[in-house]
Chain A
Amino acid sequence: MNRHRLRLLLLRLYVTVMLWVVGRALVATSRVDDTVRAELAPLPQGYQIQMLVMPGGPGFVVECQGEGTLVRAKVVKTLPDLCIAFKHVAHAFLVLGFQEGTAQAFAHDRMVVHGDVSHAIRLVRCLNTMESLILPRWIAQRAVKRYPRLGVREKTVKAARIYALFAKNLLLFK
């Protein structure tokens, strides 16, 4: 195996872990943060959102439960309602490695959207909120266009609840 292949293999491992975390963290955030719930509330029950790396993964699929909360999809539709697909694992690494913000990645055409674009815009705002809550400010600032006004107390309390839900679901194999 040459060093280029080894590098891509390591990138794929990192991206796989990060997407695994992001999917679960997004589910947890939808139960903790009102703004995320408000963003997702207009999406119908059973609406599936997929994020993956072309071709065929890694990735995650979450499903709307109504009123803005998400769960991990147990049965994935052949064509999820919304799919955001990174064109290559290296592009996913740029975003998930916090080298390129989500909006900048869209501007750089790193991803393809299948489904309603306005729903993709909502999802990007949810991802931004999640990243701002669970990541240290200096990392989150690299991922979002504008770091939101977020008090230390609000950030700490919400991040703790998201991490707790994440750990609970992990222990329960949810």
Chain B
Amino acid sequence: MTQPYYAFFCPVKIIAGHAALEHIPFELGALSCSRPMLITDKGVRGAGLLALVEAIFASSHVPITVVFDDVPADSSLSTVRQAAASYRSHDCDALIAIGGGSVIDTAKAVNILVSEGGDDLLQYAGAHNLKRALKPLFAVPTTSGTGSEVTMVAVISDTDAGVKIPFTSYYLLPNAAVLDPRMTLTLPPLVTAATAMDALTHAVEAYTGMAANPMSDAYATAAIQKISRNLLAVMDNPHDAHGRLELAQASTMAGIAFSNSMVGMVHALGHSIGALCHLPHGMCMGILLPYVLEYNETVGAQRIGELLLPLAGPEVYAATPQSRRAGRAVQVILLLRDNLYQRCQLPRNLQETGKVSLEQLEAIADMAINDGSIIFNPKESDRSELLAVLRRAWGP
């Protein structure tokens, strides 16, 4: 019998709800910051979200000093250096990241350079290579999926070497995560669905993985409940501000859960598909999740079965015999997947993405077997088993 042990850490202040953005100037002032730099991308500007934030700051005592909106979809070392140079030349004293995972990761990396000095980001690559607190960083997510606003990880591409560099440190955690439903109201349906499936996968893997603990369980189950209750409603009514806020909170809660209990085989396979086939991460997660749960059922049926309660509600949970709850939980996720396909054509299998070929599955399995997440999966897996899961996810 394993002796229980866990550590749980999340010092990020959550500022959430209607008119949450308007709290940022006060919160910055409380940290003695008066010259914030705003980091974002062209998509956020194009959606009109930047104009809203600029107006809020213009009517406060903390004006925005400079805006850097050149973050690409896959951020790079050169982007980080450019943003850091801009921060220094404008004598800024805080960072505000407004965007998805790439923008928030970029802001975390910029924070390393502007706090530690120099331009060599690579010397801080890897785990726990930062030894002191960085400048104040506020993260305002504009998608509800990555959870990057509450994780201590940043991933930046080294385009010269063709690899992605991970940075992990407690000091990369933002000071605050600001969840305002206005920031996700204009998300296209496909992105809403894919990012929500990403958040659902974070929560499910956090709950069913080997490092699950009572604290991460609480965040994971609450996140799953919010997603299952609100995702389809938001898909049917994209301007449902309450539903949008619920999804944003679910994403953040799932982020807190998985950053304290890690993820498993879905992410191991998803990382490899992303690297080899360039399929969007959320799309991979939604496709793979039910098949990995089916695979894990032989060792983790009880934990998977417990998820039927947040996934389907108390009536379905009570009416389902204990021995069938795990299978039913997988069915509920498959039904959610089919409903999302009807509403926005979110692919149901790898074949439907049009980006993954059958011939690539072996290379994906070869890469996934050495992914860091695989060790936290509750069931041991070899290459042939990964390949079998991929073939199930490939489709009919």
A residues with a Cβ closer than 8 A to B are 94, 99-101, 103-104, 106-109, 112-114, 117-122, 124, 144-146
Contacts and interface: CB of A to CB of B under 8 A. Distances in A.
Contact of A107 (B126, B127, B128, B211): B211
B136 to A, nearest CB: 28
Given A99-B3, A100-B3, A109-B7, A117 B372 contact: yes
Given A99-B3, A100-B2, A122-B370, A106 B127 contact: no
Contact of B210 (A107, A118, A122): A107
Contact of B127 (A103, A104, A112): A112
Contact of B372 (A107, A112, A114, A118): A118
B374 interface: yes
B379 A121 contact: no
Nearest to A39: B370
Interface centre among B262, B370, B379 (most CB of A within 10 A): B370
B49 interface: no
Chain B residues touching A, range? 20 to 34
Contacts of A108: 5-6, 211
A106 B2 CA distance: 13
A121 B2 contact: no
B375 interface: yes
Contacts of B209: 107
Interface in B119-166: 126-128
A103 B3 CA distance: 14
B371 interface: yes
Nearest to B2: A104
B380 interface: yes
B375 A103 contact: yes
Contacts of A120: 372
A144 B370 CA distance: 17
B371 A107 contact: no
A88 B127 CA distance: 18
Pick from B127, B376, B380 the residue with the most CB of A within 10 Å. Answer: B380
A49 to B, nearest CB: 15
Nearest to A109: B7
Contacts of B375: 103, 106-107, 121, 124
Contact of B126 (A106, A109, A114, A121): A114
- The 6 closest A-B CB pairs, nearest first, are A146-B380, A107-B211, A107-B210, A118-B370, A117-B372, A145-B380
7 contacts: A101-B2, A104-B2, A104-B210, A106-B375, A112-B127, A117-B372, A124-B375
B211 A113 contact: no
B262 A107 contact: yes
Nearest to A102: B375
A112 B5 CA distance: 16
Nearest to A124: B375
Contacts of B380: 103, 144-146
B253 to A, nearest CB: 21
Given A107-B376, A114-B127, A145-B379, 13 more contacts: A99-B3, A103-B210, A103-B380, A106-B376, A107-B209, A107-B211, A107-B262, A108-B5, A112-B128, A119-B370, A121-B372, A121-B374, A145-B380
Contacts of A145: 379-380
A118 B166 CA distance: 13
A97 to B, nearest CB: 11
A118 B371 contact: yes
A39 B6 CA distance: 30
Contacts of B7: 109
A160 B6 CA distance: 39
B126, B375, B376 pick with most chain A CB within 10 angstroms: B375
A121 B370 contact: yes
A106 B126 CA distance: 17
Contacts of A118: 370-372
Nearest to B261: A107
A103 B379 CA distance: 10
Contacts of A100: 2-3
> Which of A107, A114, A146 has the most chain B CB within a 10 Å cutoff?
A107
A38 to B, nearest CB: 11
Given A100-B2, A104-B210, A113 B127 contact: yes
B370 A94 contact: no
Contacts of A107: 209-211, 262, 375-376
Given A113-B127, A118-B371, A121-B374, A146 B379 contact: yes
A106 B374 CA distance: 11
Interface in B349-379: 369-372, 374-376, 379
Contacts of A103: 210, 375-376, 380
B242 to A, nearest CB: 36
Contacts of B371: 118, 121
A80 B313 CA distance: 52
A124 B262 CA distance: 18
A109 B7 CA distance: 8
B3 A94 contact: yes
A69 B140 CA distance: 50
A100 B369 CA distance: 22
